[in-house]
Structure 1
């Protein structure tokens, strides 16, 4: 399998590349600047300048792009739509590093985690923009996408336990009533999905045991 990781220099991107390299997967970092990852191959290009010619060799593209400021938050949606247009009707798969705020808290899938009264107000704009991007992605039946949501507590410096729980659209907790996962364990789940391709055109979620 050939794998490309967009925004590979970011926190999530770098850990995903490291996990792929540790499994001897042929991985290429797609970055705007110098390659700061463990990948030996790189494409130096902005996401919005990519063409299908740039990515056609990759069986799977992992999109680890993130935007954090008020003026850039809409790029969560515009970037996914751009990549969807590139991959429209193509066999390549697109895996997206998603957010947890849009996970449903009811079986009817009408209420989201971010709609709860205890959801941190400071995180709402980011959660809302990422949820909007998933809504846009759901409309693309012409793309082999998979959206991977982390647990509510996504720990950049957490340890690699080597294990995780795979869940679906609904917010869930482990046996201790906790919802967290480290970037390193999330990367394991992401690479597992890249290899298996079991959840095309689905949102899945992962958390630590």
Structure 2
């Protein structure tokens, strides 16, 4: 059993990661500004902002793995990179830090960062750049980090959230299925993250999950 803290536990990614981890018997601490409506049984719930030093200290104390699933929106706009840098500075030696990033942090076939290309939707650019900034700052530390980019089509807006029980793992370059799509459901992304927590196969790497 691993002690896992999920920051942003009421969000789309954080909620699915928490559900998958709970189903495997891991010890959970869930942190969010709003109280989770469907927190797994037995989970420790901390309601508050990770920008509050006392909340953050309580949340990561004793954790084996901290998962950052914060969204750079609302009152967290422009603050996620700072928050994650603070987490990294506070972690005890040997504690893993897994950050859920964005698709835009990946590279295209030309080796260009997708968020910096004309093909990337401008309305999502600030969020993607904020998450990539988090990657740059945390990866420069000596923390055992893993930065994970989900598929390009990922989120609560996707109608099909079937748990297939499968996924593929890539590096920091985007990859696609036979139909040229980059997709993964919330449940299968949660599956992939918890598999990585248990296996520890990609420490200090930027990886991606998609079908």
Give the alignment's TM-score, normalised by structure 2.
Answer: 0.88
CA contact 1:148–1:203 (8 Å) conserved in 2 = yes
Tell me if structure 1 keeps the 8 A contact 2:182–2:210.
yes
Task: Tell me which of 168, 172, 178 is aligned to 1:169.
Answer: 172
1:21-170 pair list within 5 angstroms = 21-36=22-37, 37-40=39-42, 41-48=44-51, 49=53, 50-52=55-57, 54-69=59-74, 72-87=76-91, 90-106=93-109, 109=111, 111-140=112-141, 142-156=142-156, 157=158, 158-170=161-173
Contact 2:29 2:59 in 1 (8 A): no
Question: Using the alignment, how far apart are the partners of 1:23 and 1:34 within structure 2?
Answer: 22
What CA distance in whole angstroms lies between the structure 2 residues aligned with 1:103 and 1:175? Answer: 19
How far does residue 6 in structure 1 lie from its aligned partner after superposition? 1.1
Report SS of the residue matched to 2:154.
Answer: strand
Count of aligned pairs between the two proteins: 203
How much is the aligned-residue C-alpha RMSD, in angstroms? 1.9
- Tell me the residue number matched to 1:17: 18
Taking the aligned partners of 2:64 and 2:204, their CA distance within structure 1 comes to 16
1:10-66 Cα offsets, whole Å, 9 max, x none, are: 222111111111112221212334343225222334212245564232111111111
CA distances 1:71-128 after superposition (whole Å, capped 9, x unpaired): 74321211111101111x6111111111010101146x4x111233222121111111
